[in-house]
Structure 1
């Protein structure tokens, strides 16, 4: 019964994340509610040192952030997003105790990718919306859609060893293409920057399993698909790419900073200047805006830059929370990345698929964070924290299963 519950919750995390308002919260909320059952069921969790490391970075980021906000005297609403990271800790324990069926995890991502792409197509081509945005901010929509597509590619290793391998692989490829399409139709360029790293990681994980002729065919499909999407004006991709070059030219020539990229460059410039003034403590949640406004009043940055966050996760964190805040953010990225990466050459493809998805999660978020403060939005917090808990819990469960079968690990 408990496994059915976690399977449904994990399915919903992927399937409805972007197609209903706050869809990314429902599956996570079900897992959090279910975790209260651990108080009376008290299952044997067999926690290892690495499990504690994952829980520690989630808790450290959350608690340190909340303490800094408390010392600053921030309002209650400021604690909402950082507090959610610590809620992922009991979810991780719940997933370890009652792991979901992996078919529900991967099929949820396929359904989510297809529904998201369909929603994006409807908004873009039929409603005439310039950039598909779903029910959340356009950048969040595009990048989370991209993430679902990336996860589907990671799941190909799992699909390859299933009884109906070809059918599962076809579905996951469909989900991957749909997730990428949703991102492209949103015009969120930040997520595209890291795709070479993502494909390199996927190749490192699965390259030896794929015939040379198949690799060439996949590359040909990727390049031809990208060329087709770029060449069709209705997708808006060509216009977004060309606009990026125009923005850079206008900024470097000094002609205009009031463009999408120009404003970001000023935000980054301002955040760096503020970080240099208070590198240890940062400016605080509200002090950051005051510091940026002072720079705008002096003409160092444009007024628009003073009214928004830095549009870069690390720069914004350093400027607001100082070196301790930045270190806690880096730990949140790098500790899971290192631990998942240790399993990327596992002989068992089901384990390798989960490790691949887990490693791609922080890589994708570091990419998204170049041009957006992703943890400044509920969607970014919920997706990162709870998918980290789910993927780690599922991967560790698979390791335990292999250890029980062979009496040894499978790294």
Structure 2
């Protein structure tokens, strides 16, 4: 069947476009809202897959972008095999990871849509960042936001809230690269989203998530050519230094940095039961569990019980008994052993490699999608150093949807450019 504009489901394009705006926009203000959009898109994608089941080209992106396909499906398969080998049944452990596997048919549908219907996701990210900042006013405590009262919403805690707000804020700026219409309006809205999402992250006090900011800036520089001339580099460095100086001079940042320093000082004096100290103890206990269960770990969902056993035998503090290790990596080695580490690395590679290859494209839409996709994948890695990113469903559904959309934009745009190329 010809690969032209007659092959995509025209009637689904406007609906899919609307859902791609709404899904990220409501992530931090409506519990389950992103999931509803995701599953509506999934229903359309399953219908589309059935309608095109005899057209092998419809399923070609799974093969052409094999690393992505493997990254989406292998984590769920590994957990299913683990439970079968260990002889236990915990279906709730499939829930977050299933969002990645379910994104595969959704990816196929999006690949068939014109890229202009997909790039609206940038407006959804901007609206999501702006919406997150609404909590600053709507839910403001009596004494204002501080270290004790950190900004969040009613269905998550401050860390994933702040990390997600920060990601949406920067994605708003990344996606300005493909805004060819109403550019002044897009610039105003998306810069406002950057500021709003940045303030939401700031008031959430998520220290770990802030380490992603330099990476976001480097990717923005790559996308917009900030480093193409020494003058641009100089201006960029001066502006970033000024911004960093302003932020470091604010009370909230100073308090969070001082708290970390205080924790380290107390640890040196022998007090390990600080915020940083307990996290380090938790990671150390995870390493101990990995050493005792090196191949397949203690079983996904069994970390709390395993830590409880260590505490009962005096090998760990009772204060660190937790269902998660507060790090994707340490949770992986404890719960799933070497297989977990391999799966996590596959996920990181599979969600990055195709964007990395497209990052220097001459086409603005492809380059924008590639840099935005790298922002999603790199932030998932960096956020996952200090918190379990791949556990909260509102996070996994957003990451899976955005990754599928940004990669589908690259696929769709390449098809359009090939169709427009002069035939020899």
Give the TM-score normalised by the residue count of structure 1. 0.90
Q: What are structure 2's unaligned runs of at least 5 residues? A: 1-10
> Structure 1 residues 175 and 407 mapped into 2: Cα distance closer, same or farther (>3 Å)?
farther
Q: 2:130 aligns with which of 96, 108, 114?
A: 114
Match of 1:260 in 2: 275
Q: CA deviation at 1:5?
A: 1.0
Q: CA deviation at 1:208?
A: 5.0
Deviations 1:142-176 (A, max 9, x none): 111111112123213223xx143333233222222
Superposition pairs of residues 129-278 of structure 1, within 5 angstroms: 130-135=149-154, 136-159=156-179, 162-207=180-225, 216-233=234-251, 236-255=252-271, 257-278=272-293
Rounded Cα–Cα distance in structure 2 between residues aligned with 1:168 and 1:214: 23
Instruction: Verify: 1:16 aligned to 2:31, yes or no.
Output: no
Query: CA contact under 8 A between 2:172 and 2:193: conserved in structure 1?
Result: yes
Instruction: Verify: 1:57 aligned to 2:77, yes or no.
Output: no
Q: CA deviation at 1:127?
A: 7.8
Match of 1:25 in 2: 35
**Residue aligned with 1:375, SS:** coil
Q: 1:378 aligns with which of 371, 393, 397?
A: 393
Superposition pairs of residues 121-132 of structure 1, within 5 angstroms: 121-124=137-140, 128=144, 130-132=149-151
Match of 2:297 in 1: 282
Say what the alpha-carbon RMSD is for the aligned residues. Answer: 2.4
Deviations 1:8-60 (A, max 9, x none): 11101221111122333232122112112214431752624433331222111
Query: CA contact under 8 A between 2:227 and 2:233: conserved in structure 1?
Result: no
Rounded Cα–Cα distance in structure 1 between residues aligned with 2:286 and 2:348: 21
Query: CA contact under 8 A between 1:66 and 1:83: conserved in structure 2?
Result: no
Deviations 1:101-131 (A, max 9, x none): 2452111111111111122344346684511
Rounded Cα–Cα distance in structure 1 between residues aligned with 2:201 and 2:36: 22
Match of 1:350 in 2: 365
Give the TM-score normalised by the residue count of structure 2. 0.87
Query: CA contact under 8 A between 1:121 and 1:185: conserved in structure 2?
Result: no
Q: CA deviation at 1:225?
A: 3.8
**Residue aligned with 1:376, SS:** coil
Match of 1:105 in 2: 121
Q: How many residues align?
A: 403
Match of 1:294 in 2: 309
**Residue aligned with 1:156, SS:** helix
**Residue aligned with 2:139, SS:** helix
Query: CA contact under 8 A between 2:93 and 2:301: conserved in structure 1?
Result: no
Q: CA deviation at 1:314?
A: 1.0
Q: CA deviation at 1:219?
A: 4.5
Query: CA contact under 8 A between 1:19 and 1:116: conserved in structure 2?
Result: yes
Rounded Cα–Cα distance in structure 2 between residues aligned with 1:83 and 1:404: 35
Rounded Cα–Cα distance in structure 1 between residues aligned with 2:215 and 2:172: 16
Rounded Cα–Cα distance in structure 1 between residues aligned with 2:124 and 2:402: 13
